[in-house]
Amino acid sequence: MRACAVLVGLAVMLALPVAGLCDEQAVAKQVVVSADLSVEEVALGVWLHTSWDEVEGFGRVPANGLVVVGNGEAALIDTPWNNALTGELFDWVVKNLGCPITTVVATHSHGDNLGGLNEAHSRGAASWALDRTLELARSAGRPVPQHGFSDRKVLSVGGRTLELRYLGGGHTVDNIVVWIGDQKVLFGGCLVKAAGAKTLGYTKEADLAAWPQTVTALRSAYPDARLIVPGHGSPGGYELLDRTLELLTRGTAARGGLAGSEE
Rounded mean pLDDT, 204-227: 97
Top CATH class of 3-250 equals alpha beta
Beta bridge partners of 160: 157
For the entire predicted model, the pTM comes to: 0.87
Check pLDDT > 80 for residue 125: yes
From CA 154, how far away is CA 57, in angstroms rounded? Answer: 39
What region, left, alpha or beta, does residue 243 occupy, with left being phi > 0 and alpha being psi -120 to 50 degrees?
alpha
The domain limits of the chain are 3-250
For the chain, the maximum distance between any two Cα atoms, rounded to a whole number of angstroms, is 51
Measured CA distances, 167 to 150, 172, 236, 259, 261 (Å):
11, 12, 20, 20, 22
% of the chain with per-residue pLDDT over 70: 84
Amino acid 90: pLDDT: 98
- Strands 160-165 and 152-157, bridge-based pairing: antiparallel
Amino acid 24: pLDDT: 32
16-68: per-residue pLDDT in tens? 333 333 233 345 679 999 999 999 999 999 999 999 998 776 678 899 999 99
> What b-and-e string marks burial along 37-64, b requiring 16 or more CB atoms within 10 Å of the CB?
bbbbbbbbbbbbbbbbbebeeeeebbbb
Q: How many residues would you count in the chain?
A: 263
Check pLDDT > 70 for residue 102: yes
Collapsing DSSP to helix, strand or coil, 140 comes out as helix
Check pLDDT > 70 for residue 216: yes
